Amino acid sequence: MGVGFLIAVLPLISFLLAGFGVLFGWKSFKRRSHYFGLVTVGISLILSFYVLFKVMKGAVFSEKWFNWIISGGLSACFGASIDSLTAIMLVVVTFVSFFVHMYSIGYMHDDPGYDRFFAYLGLFTFSMLVLVLSPNFLQLFFGWEAVGLSSYLLIGFWFKRKRAADAAIKAFIMNRVGDFLFILGVVAVFWVFGSLDFHKVFSQAGAVSAATLSLISFLLLGGAIGKSAQFPLHTWLPDAMEGPTPISALIHAATMVAAGVFMVARCAPIFDGSYVLPIVGVIGVITAFGAATIGLTQFDIKRVLAYSTLSQLGYMFAALGVGAYVYAMFHLFTHAFFKALLFLGSGNVIHAMSGEQDIRKMGGLYKYMKITATCFIIGTLALVGIPPFAGFFSKDKIISAAFANGHLIFWFFLVMGALLTALYMGRLVFMVFFGEERFDAREMKHLHESPAVMTVPLIFLAVPSIFAGFLGGWFEKFLKSSVPNHVRELSHSTELLLITITVSLALLGLLIAAVIYYWRKISPEVFTENPVLRPIYLLLYNKYYFDEIYSLLFVRGTGFGLGKIYAFFDKYVIDGIVNGVAYFTSWCGEVLRLTQTGVVNNYVAYFGIGVVTVILLLLLV
C-alpha cells in the first residue's frame, strides 16, 4: 500500500458511495454525488502531482497491495509501479477526470441518472488509474477490462435509447475482440517468461527469439488496436458518441482510448525485439489518414471529433510503429488536453442547442458563447498543429520521426493527414461558430453561454493545450528513463523544411475550409454532387461501409446467422438424435406390444418357437 494505492482507490470510494446511493435510492446522496467524485479525484490529482515531482527527483515507487492469483508458477499481485511513464499518465488521467467531473455537474444537471453518472465516472477513473499503475500484465488486463466495463456502462448510460444500448454492446464486443488477443498475449508472456511482472519480463526480453517476441507482441497489439479503436477495430468509437459528452471527452478522447498507446509504449522492450513494429505503423497510418478522410464528411459535431480522435490515435500508433515511443506518448499527453477541451466545448454547444448535434443546424454561435468558442478554437488550432499550440509540437515530432527513420510513405500520408485534419476541423469551426445562423427560433431561445462550472474546465484545459507543447524537451528527457525512443537525428535544415511543409499544409487546409465554409466561395456541393467525386464522397460519408460489412459478416453472419443454424442443429439434430432414440425405442415397444395379441394360441406358438430357439442355442454354444 502506499500513495499509488490511495490515488487509485479514492475514486473507487466515490463510485461506491454514489453507487450505493443509486442502489438504495438515497435522496440525500443523489444531489451530492458529485462531491464524492470531486473530492476524491481532486485528492488523487494532487497526489499525482506529488508523485510526478517525486519521480522527477528520481524516486521510484513500487508497491505491492495484495496477492491476486497464485497458481503453480504463476504469481500475480495487485500493486503499483510508478515510473515516469506512469507518473505522466497519472497526471493526465486525474487532471482530465477532475475537470470532467466538474464539467459534468453542469452538463448532467437535469439528468435523472445524475448520481449514477458520477458513480460510473468514479469507477472509470479508478479503473484507468489501476491500469496505468499496474506492475504486471494481469493487473494491466484488469484495468483494461474495467475501463472497458465503465466505457460500456457510460456509452449505454441512456439505456432506454436503442442506439445507445447497441453502441455500448458494440464497443464492448469490439474491445473484446482485441482482448481475446490480448489475454492470449498475456498467456504467451507467462509461458515464455515464466512471470507476468513487467520488470522480470522486460529484463528477459533480449534473451527470447524474435519470432516468439513477434507472436507475443502481435497478440498484445491486438488488444491495443481494440482499445485504441485502430483500424480494423475502429468502428465502435464513433458510435460511442451516444454516451454523454463528458464521457466522450474523458474516455473516448483523452484517456481510455489512449491506453493502447500506453500499453505498447509500456511493452516497448517486447515490441522492439519483434517484427511487429511496422505493422503497428501501417495500422496507425491507415487509421490516421482514413479516419481523417471520413471526418471530412460527417455532420455530427461529436462524430467529427470522434474521427479526429481516431486519426490522432493513428498518429500515435504511427509514432510507435517507427519506434518513437516517447513522441507517441507526448502526443498522447497533449492530445488528452486539447481533445478533452474540444469535446467539452462541443458539449457546451450541444447543451446550448438543446441537444442538437447536427452542424448543419448550427452556425454563428460565436456571438452567443464567446468563452466556449475561444476555447474551442484554441483546441482546434492545437489539434491542427499550428505553432505554438501544443499539438504542433507533438504532431510534428511524429511526422519528422517518420521521415527520419526512413518511412517515407508513412511520412507522406501523415502529412496529408495533417492537411485533412486542418480541413475538417476548419470546416467544423466555421460551420458551428461562424456564418449564418441555421437554427430555428425555438433553439434560439435557449442559446446561452454555459454556466461557470462548464466553462472553467474549458479554460483549465485550454491552458495546457496552448503551453504543453513547450514541455517537449523536458518530456523527452523525463520519459527516456522508462521508455526508449529510437529516432535518428535529422539535420536542422531538413527538420525546418519538414516543419514548414507540415505547417503550411495545415494552414492550407484551414484556408480551404475558410474558402468553402466561411467565405462560401465554393459550395461544398461541388464535391458531393460531382459525378466523379460523388462515389468517393458516399464512400467516405458511409465510413467506407465498415459498419455494414462487419454487421453482415460478423453480427448477422457469424453471430446471429451461424447462431440460428447452430440452434437449429442443436434442436433438431443433436437433440433430435436424443429424442429420436427415445421415439425409436418407444416405437419398438409399440410394435413388440402388438405381438401380445391376447389369443392364447399365438402364445403357444411363441412357446414352440422358444423351444426351437433354445435347442438351436444349445446347439450353437
Partner 1 sequence: MELNVKLLFPEFFVLTAAVVGILIDLLLPKRMKNGFFATFSVFVLFICVFLVLFSSPFVPEEAFNGFVKKDLLTGLSQVLILFSSLIAVFVSYGFLKKFDTDYVGEFYYTLLFAVFGAMLMVSANELATLFVSLEVMSISVYILSALFRKDYRGKEAALKYFIMGSVGAAVIVYGFALLYGLSGSTLYGEVGRAISTLSFPVLLSLALVISGFLFKLGAVPFHGWTPDVYHGAPTPVTLFMGAVVKIAAFVALLKLFYPVFLPLVSEWGEVFAVIGVVSAFAGALMALRQENVKRMLAYSAISHTGVVLTALVSVPAVAVFSVLFYLFAYAFMTVAAFGFVSLLTENGFKGENLSDWRNLYGKSPFLALSLVVIFMSLAGIPPLFGFWAKFYILVALVKVGKVGIAVAILVASVISLYFYLRPVVYAFMRKGEAVLPPVEPFELGAVAVTVLFLIIFGLFPELISQASIFALSSFLRGII
Partner 2 sequence: MREIFFYLFAFLSVAFAVISVTHRNVVKGGIALLASFVSLGAVYFTAGAEFIGIVQVIVYGGAIVVLYLFALMTMDLKSFGKEPLKTLSVAVGGAVSLVLLVSVLYAGYKFYGGVVTAGISGAKEIALPLFYRFLLPFEVVSVLLLVATVGAVAVGRREE
Partner 3 sequence: MTTFDFFVLSGLLFAVGLFGVIVRRNVISLFFSLELLLNSANVLLVGFSKLQGNLFGEVFVFFVLAVAAAEAAVGLAVVVALYRYRKSVNTEDFSILRW
Residues between 101 and 120 that touch partner 3 (CB under 8 A): none
Nine cell digits for residue 275: 517484427
* Minimum distance of partner 2 from residue 604's CB (angstroms): 8
Of partner 2, partner 3, partner 1, none, which one sits near residue 621, judging by CB under 5 to 8 A according to partner kind? partner 1
Written as nine digits, the cell of 237 is 468509437
Binding partner at 207 among partner 3, partner 2, partner 1, none, C-beta below 5 to 8 Å by kind: none
What does 618 interact with, of partner 2, partner 3, partner 1, none (CB < 5 to 8 A by kind)? partner 1
Choose the contact partner of 589 out of partner 2, partner 3, partner 1, none; CB within 5 to 8 A by kind: partner 1
From the CB of 590, what's the least distance to partner 2, in Å?
20
The crossing angle, in degrees rounded to 10, of helices 408-433 and 301-321 is 160
Residue among 177, 184, 93, 186 nearest 131 (CA)? 93
Shorter beta-carbon distance to partner 1: residue 519 or 583 = 583
Q: Quick one: 56 or 588, whose CB is closer to partner 1?
A: 588
The C-alpha R_g of the chain, in whole angstroms, comes to 30
Decide if 389 contacts 355 (C-beta within 8 A).
no
Residue 607's CB: how many other CB atoms inside 10 A? 10
Please report how close the Cβ of residue 557 comes to partner 2 at its closest, in angstroms: 60
Closest CA to 546 of 334, 262, 233, 337: 233
β 74-82/61-71 pair status: antiparallel
In the complex, least distance from residue 618 CB atom to partner 3, rounded to whole angstroms:
18
Between 548 and 575, name the residue whose CB sits nearer to partner 1.
575
Least distance in Å: CB of 609 to partner 1?
6
Residues 410-449 that bind partner 1 (CB under 8 A): none
Q: How far is the CB of 618 from partner 1 (least distance, A)?
A: 5
Give ∠ CA 353-359-365 in degrees, rounded to 5.
Answer: 55
Binding-site string for partner 1 from residue 547 to residue 586, where x marks contact by CB under 8 A and - marks none? -----------------------------------x--xx
Give CA–CA dist 86/91, Å, rounded: 9
Residue 174, H or E segment: helix 162-193
In angstroms, give the least distance from the CB of 591 to partner 1: 9
**Minimal distance in Å, beta carbon 591 to partner 2?**
16
Name which of 444 and 609 has its Cβ closer to partner 2: 609
CA dihedral 438, 443, 448, 452 (to 10 degrees): -120
Rule CB under 8 A: choose which of 207, 441, 532, 619 binds partner 1. Answer: 619
**Three-class DSSP category at 300:** strand
Specify the residue, 207 or 599, whose C-beta has the smaller distance to partner 1: 599
Q: Which does 532 bind (CB under 5 to 8 A by kind): partner 1, partner 3, partner 2, none?
A: none
DSSP state of 98: H
Q: Which position among 1, 526, 553, 614 is part of the footprint of partner 1 (CB under 8 A)? A: 614
Nearer to partner 3, 442 or 593 (CB): 593
Q: Pick between residue 532 and residue 600 the one whose CB is nearest to partner 1.
A: 600
- Interaction site with partner 2 (CB under 8 A): 601-602, 605, 608-609, 611-612, 615
DSSP 208: S
- Can you tell me the distance from the alpha carbon of 402 to that of 353, in angstroms, rounded to the nearest whole number? 41
Name the minimum Å distance from CB 602 to partner 2: 7
Please say which residue, 549 or 611, places its beta carbon nearer to partner 2: 611
Residue 608 Cα distances to 595, 611, 621, angstroms: 15, 5, 20
Would you state the cell numbers that stand for residue 52, as one nine-digit string?
A: 510526478
Cβ closest to partner 3, residue 532 vs residue 591: 591
What is the SS3 string spanning 40-88? HHHHHHHHHHHHHHHHHCCCCEEEEEEEEEEECCEEEEEEEEECHHHHH
- DSSP, collapsed to helix, strand or coil, labels residue 358 as strand
The residue (of 58 and 598) whose beta carbon lies closer to partner 3 is 598
Contacted by 617, from partner 2, partner 1, partner 3, none: CB < 5 to 8 Å by type: partner 1
In this structure, what are the phi and psi dihedrals at residue 357, rounded to the nearest 5 degrees? Answer: -120, -5
Judged by beta carbon, residue 562 or residue 604, the one nearer partner 2 is 604
Encode 118-152 in three state secondary structure: HHHHHHHHHHHHHHHHCCEHHHHHHHHHHHHHHHH
> Nearer to partner 1 by C-beta: 441 or 619?
619
The yes or no reply on residue 611 touching partner 1 (CB under 8 A) is: yes
Q: How far apart are CA 36 and CA 44, in angstroms?
A: 12
- Cα distances from 59 to residues 56, 84, 93, 197, 447, in angstroms, run 7, 10, 20, 20, 50
Site for partner 3 in 570-609 (CB under 8 A): 593-594, 596-601, 604-605, 608
Nearest distance from C-beta of residue 577 to partner 1, angstroms: 16
Binding region for partner 1 (CB under 8 A) out of 120-128, 398-406, 442-450, 598-606: 598-606
Kindly list the residues in this chain that would bind partner 3 in the complex (CB under 8 A). 593-594, 596-601, 604-605, 608
Residues that bind partner 1 (CB under 8 A): 582, 585-586, 588-590, 592-593, 596, 598, 600, 602-604, 606-607, 609-611, 613-615, 617-619, 621
